[in-house]
Amino acid sequence: MTIYTRIKNGECSFTLTEDFDSAEKAANSSNEGINAEVKIENVKLDFTIVKKEHDGTSSKSTSAKVQGSSGEETQKVSGD
């Protein structure tokens, strides 16, 4: 069976909001809070790679370069 894997690479801005029961716990960046919420904004897709996998072995990969943000129409570049 042939499986194709798509890997998207890009950048974004995010805000991570966590709740703590004390200011001391919140000030320590190694502590994990409760009710964690992540908001992702300004997503910019740089490029996409598609890999063809056959019987557990990887073969050729094809990349599709895109320009602009993910909300815009993308331009594909074919390659082997």
pLDDT in tens, 53-65: 876 555 555 555 5
CA distances to 14, 48, 53, 64, 66 from 8, in Å: 17, 4, 17, 10, 10
| Phi, psi (degrees; rounded to nearest 5) at 27 | -75, -25
CA distances from 60 to 16, 47, 69, 70 (A): 37, 17, 27, 25
Assessment of whether the complete model's pTM goes beyond 0.85: no
pLDDT band with cut points at 50, 70 and 90 for residue 76: very low
